Structure 1
């Protein structure tokens, strides 16, 4: 393929797809949150729930366009999802250490506060894993959608391949 050839990647709206996504997206988002909130209790859990939440954003991007979705869902929000999940995970582990237990030893919560160790696990499952998975799914999709071009990976002082100063 020569440099003059290009793909037509113009976005075309489909009223059927847009209407279907408008109807289905609230249900998939609700189901993803349901799965996340039942992280340690039922089959499924926060990993699957986070994946469903992330895929709901992908569905919106396919229906309404990748760039409009990327502009609507700010990069700082997606980074905040992953960072918040990691922060909750680490904070829960450090809290158990501060209470005299090992890292993520949930029994320290029940000994100190009189609450079941279940709540420490829920903090990790819902607050940590679901946020991280949803953020990573969205990030990988936007990174893949941006594509890879040699120009994007090239330093500014490097010439393009196949292009000489004589041209």
Structure 2
């Protein structure tokens, strides 16, 4: 009996070549948007999204499983966790300096630097890592799909056949 859940990946030289050409530009643009920061349109969320989409584009062109093996789950978890830790550390650092969570004006009072550098650190080091990691992880999770085997007791067709119940009943 043929497997009804076969892999739908088809190698296309056109798509692979196009992605090889486009991916460096989209990655560069994503990093530009990330480093552009809070001073203008752009920032960590938009840049992280574009970087994540670049990885998704590579997965579509060269196969999801090879890309999943290239970006191990531990790397993606580290990316997300690192972003959350950086975000939290900066926010809690502002509390340690005598302000509120993410109150960047404490940077001016204590270190005599512009408060915008706190926002830049959050956008570049925290949010962009979280967004790109979550986006890639969600894609891999959805691409994994579901297992076609059902646990017993779910009322599946096999269980009905065992009890002598037909679909016509």
Q: 1:70-129: CA deviations, max 9, x gaps?
A: 001111111111111111110001100001111111011111111111111111111111
Q: 1:4-41: CA deviations, max 9, x gaps?
A: 77254342211111111111111100100000001201
The change in CA–CA distance for 1:25 and 1:12 in structure 2 (over 3 A counts) is same
Is residue 34 from structure 1 mapped to residue 32 from structure 2 by the alignment?
A: yes
TM-score, structure 2 as length reference: 0.87
Q: Matched residue pairs, number?
A: 161
Uncovered stretches (5+) of structure 1, i.e. residues with no partner: none
Distance between the aligned counterparts of 1:141 and 1:12, measured in 2?
A: 18
2:146 corresponds to: 148
Larger radius of gyration: 2
Distance between the aligned counterparts of 1:10 and 1:55, measured in 2?
A: 20
Q: Secondary structure at the match of 1:163?
A: helix
1:60 corresponds to: 58
Q: Name the Cα RMSD after superposition.
A: 2.2
Q: Secondary structure at the match of 2:37?
A: coil
Distance between the aligned counterparts of 2:137 and 2:30, measured in 1?
A: 18
